[in-house]
Each structure stands twice: as C-alpha cells, then as structure tokens.
C-alpha cells in the first residue's frame, strides 16, 4: 500500500534534534532549509523536495560497518561484462578522478546540500569492464550481504560515482569508507556503503531495503512512499 510521505516521516521522527553517536543533527525549519526552499532545478522541480529538511553535515545511518580498509580493499566487477575486474584501492584512486558537488536526500527526512565528493564515474568502470548489451541493471554489493539496485540508464549518468573522498577528506568508515557508491538523484539508501562489488545484471534484483518495503524507484520528489 501507499502512505503519504509526511505521515511516514511523522511516525519516524519524534523531535527536531536527533543525537547520533553523540553528535547533534538539527532538522531545521530556519535558514538552513529556507534558503533552498524556493530554488528550482533546471527541470522545474524544487531543489529541496518538500518533505525534506536541511542538516549541515552527513549523518551516519547505521548498518554493520565493513571490515575492508584501503590496504585490503578490492572491488569486484562482474556479471554481464566481457572483462571481469578486480580493482584495489590504489588502482581506483589512480583512475581518472571526478569531483562532484551535489545535494543528497535521505528517506528519513534530511538533506545535505552542496555535498562534496571525489571518485570515479561508474560509467568509466563500465567501459573498462566492457559491459554487454544484455546489462540492464547494476547491483551494488556491500559487506555483510547488503545490496542496492539501479537501472543501467541511471548507472551511466554523469553524476553516478564510486567515491573515496567526502568534503575533501578520505571517506570515513562510519559514512561507508573506504569506498561507497553515490547516486545523488535517488534516495541515499541506493548509494551503498562499504562497497565491495558491482554486478551488471540482465534482471532487476530488489536490494536490502526494497525487500523490506522501500519503493524501488527511490525518488525523493515522489510524495508517496511504498510500504
């Protein structure tokens, strides 16, 4: 069934200040949200989806942290590809690097605006692996069995990346380091933390949260949420 996003968020959030790992994260109706409230994206959408509130820094959202680090990291690229790959951390940071400033939106109701990231375009990795025409979806595979899924059309966009830096510094473990995916046009659960594999697939495979009722589309500008 579907419920109104505002009702869903009201059930989740019990106050305007949430403490995570001892750090305050302010859900603000003041200048942090208001300065973006009426800004319009080139395609006509509101820059800040109407159910979202702006916070000042990336909020850790739990999950079982990975065991990989820069020394033992390997990214496996598999599935519908002609050239399966394994990429270690040094190889990844020596690939052509892109910097991206983007807004990110969490389904729990917070957004971080003008967030800074550095990494490799997923399109670059797809080209290295020589993906087959049969590849229709990308499955991000993380430690401890977590997965998230996006279409190949989404995966090859110019803002979808495999990132290792956030705000000019190495990506922290609590935020998904050493490597995570970044899909800024979708809700942030699609940007899988503690990434260890990218699998190109003929068929869509609902990820961890989709199997638990989250909307497969993960569109922050959709005011309804599937449960």
* pLDDT one-digit tens code per residue, 23-66: 344 444 557 788 888 899 999 999 999 889 999 888 887 778 88
* pLDDT one-digit tens code per residue, 107-158: 999 999 999 999 999 999 999 999 999 999 999 999 999 999 999 999 999 9
What pTM does this model have?
0.85
Q: Mention every residue, 6+ apart, whose C-beta is less than 8 A from residue 212.
A: none
The CATH H-level superfamily of 2-15+70-226 is Oxidoreductase, molybdopterin-binding domain (3.90.420.10)
Other beta carbons within 10 Å of 43: 6
* pLDDT averaged over every residue in the chain: 86
* pLDDT one-digit tens code per residue, 165-224: 999 999 999 999 999 999 999 999 999 999 999 999 999 999 999 999 999 999 999 855
Q: Where are the domains of the chain?
A: 2-15+70-226
Q: How far is residue 66's CA from residue 31's CA, in Å, rounded to a whole number?
A: 36
Buried b (16+ CB within 10 A) or exposed e, 140-172: bbbbeebbbbbebebbbeebbbbbbbbeeeebe
Q: Is the per-residue pLDDT at 4 higher than 70?
A: no
């Amino acid at each position: 069934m579907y419920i109104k996003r505002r009702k869903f968020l009201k059930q989740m959030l019990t106050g305007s200040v949430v403490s995570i790992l001892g750090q305050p994260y302010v859900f603000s109706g003041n200048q942090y949200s208001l300065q973006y409230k009426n800004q319009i994206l080139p395609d006509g959408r509101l820059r800040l989806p109407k159910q979202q509130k702006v916070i000042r820094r990336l909020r850790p959202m739990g999950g079982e942290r990975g065991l990989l680090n820069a020394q033992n990291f390997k990214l496996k690229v598999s599935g519908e590809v002609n050239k399966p790959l394994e990429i270690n951390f040094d190889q990844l940071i020596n690939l052509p690097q892109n910097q991206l400033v983007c807004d990110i939106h969490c389904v729990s109701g917070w957004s971080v605006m003008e967030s800074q990231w550095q990494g490799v375009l997923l399109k670059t990795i797809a080209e290295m692996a020589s993906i087959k025409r049969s590849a229709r979806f990308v499955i991000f595979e993380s430690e401890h069995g977590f997965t998230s899924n996006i279409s190949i059309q989404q995966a090859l966009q110019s803002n979808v990346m495999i990132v290792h830096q956030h705000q000019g510094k190495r990506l922290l473990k609590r935020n998904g380091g050493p490597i995570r995916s970044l899909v800024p046009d979708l809700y942030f659960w699609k940007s899988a933390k503690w990434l260890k594999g990218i699998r190109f697939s003929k068929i869509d495979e609902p990820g961890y949260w989709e199997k638990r009722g989250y909307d497969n589309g993960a569109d922050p500008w959709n005011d309804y949420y599937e449960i």
